[in-house]
């Protein structure tokens, strides 16, 4: 089965073609980062308009790269949520319309399920069951994964997601948007021992996260060391390093706790923050101590992309699921509401 995947949940337009027998055939991605950087964050209306402008040309491009025609595509998968409602509607309406025109089924895919399954696109994918850390600009969750669609939420952020905290800390330090990669780059020049930032909610049982207090601590530290309105470059780098270290260690402590509580020996990390080099190093140490294994996607598949949507959609389509004629767009959508890939359901959309 060849599936066309469409991702338009936020500020990246991703399109890919996935073959259930041959694997990923082609993928293309357009990022709106430069446009939104001017405003210090994503502007939903601008994001939606840019998806309208870019989506059809990208679909044509990915078809040309794979040397395929419309009659060779067996199904279409599009991101149905969660995300920005306007952006979601662009991908959903385009995907559903193309499916109708081409006479093939379509399915709305959960954005975070796409991220969770992205490591399956690698040469050495994990096997079920495993613990997944989903960590991005909008989500920080620990999930026990028994099979596709069989998800048990172990813990989540009670306020900001880790990626969002990175962006806000970067703004405090005078860095551009998106701040996560810039914090990581600046942290490489910093002294990680100069400042000791708190590791939120690690001194109590449970697997939930909270990063709002860490942001406040960062703001107070910046204010304390700013003289005449200026924060010197080395102190800026030291604060970035301390902030990154606090977030990474907090995530690592909770991941180790999740492995111990579930007894599982496989950990995957997915989402934009999973590309952070320091996080990968720290989790490598955790799985070594726990005699477990760590899995993650290649960097280009950590951020939003069409390949993960094509893959996730393909698995559900192969199981006989589809979304019927409905155009699905759900800005808020719990992953625990998804049906198992093993369930005999006619429509994910009708069940949700």
Binding-site members for substrate are 134-138, 167, 180, 276
Alpha-carbon distance of 98 to 327, in angstroms, equals 12
Report CA-CA distances (Å) from 197 to 4, 84, 221, 277, 321.
45, 33, 9, 19, 47
Closest-CA residue to 109 (of 303, 343, 304): 304
Binding residues for Fe cation: 111, 115, 304
Positive/negative CA dihedral, 179, 184, 185, 186: positive
Contact criterion met (CB below 8 Å) for 15 and 27: yes
Characterize 61-88 residue by residue with b for buried, 16 or more Cβ atoms within 10 angstroms of its Cβ, and e for exposed.
Answer: ebbeebebeeeebbbbbbbbbbbbebbb
Give backbone dihedrals phi and psi of 157, rounded to 5 degrees, phi first: -75, 135
Binding residues: 111, 115, 134-138, 167, 180, 276, 304
Alpha-carbon distance of 316 to 307, in angstroms, equals 15
Closest-CA residue to 167 (of 138, 202, 194, 198): 138
């Amino acid at each position: 089965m060849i599936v066309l995947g469409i991702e338009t949940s936020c500020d990246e337009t991703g399109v890919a073609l996935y073959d259930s027998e041959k694997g990923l055939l082609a993928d293309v991605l357009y990022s709106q980062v430069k446009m939104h950087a001017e405003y210090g964050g994503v502007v939903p209306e601008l994001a939606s308009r840019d998806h309208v402008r870019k989506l059809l040309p990208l679909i044509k491009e990915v078809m040309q790269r794979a040397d395929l025609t419309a009659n060779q595509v067996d199904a279409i998968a599009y991101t149905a949520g969660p995300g920005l409602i306007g952006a979601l509607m662009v991908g959903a309406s385009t995907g559903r319309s193309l499916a109708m025109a081409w006479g093939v089924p379509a399915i709305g895919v959960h954005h975070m399920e796409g991220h969770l399954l992205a490591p399956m696109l690698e040469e050495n994918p994990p096997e079920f069951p495993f613990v997944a850390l989903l960590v991005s600009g909008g989500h920080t969750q620990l999930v026990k994964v028994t099979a596709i669609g069989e998800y048990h939420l172990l813990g989540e952020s009670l306020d900001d997601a880790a990626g969002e905290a990175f962006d806000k800390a970067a703004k405090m330090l005078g860095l551009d948007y998106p701040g996560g990669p810039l914090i990581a780059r600046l942290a490489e020049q910093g002294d990680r021992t100069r400042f000791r930032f708190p590791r939120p909610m690690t001194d109590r049982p449970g697997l939930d996260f909270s990063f709002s207090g860490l942001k406040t601590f960062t703001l107070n530290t910046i204010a304390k060391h700013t003289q005449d309105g200026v924060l010197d470059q080395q102190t800026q780098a030291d604060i970035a390093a301390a902030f990154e270290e606090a977030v990474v260690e907090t995530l690592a402590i909770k991941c180790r706790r999740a492995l111990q509580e579930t007894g599982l020996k496989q950990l995957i990390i997915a989402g934009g923050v999973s590309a952070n080099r320091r996080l990968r190093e720290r989790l490598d140490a955790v799985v070594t101590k726990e005699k477990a294994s760590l899995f993650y996607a290649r960097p280009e598949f950590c951020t939003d992309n069409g390949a993960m949507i094509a893959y996730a959609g393909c698995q559900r389509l192969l199981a006989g699921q589809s979304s019927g004629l409905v155009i699905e767009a759900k800005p808020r959508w719990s992953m625990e509401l998804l049906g198992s890939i093993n369930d005999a359901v006619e429509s994910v959309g009708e069940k949700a």
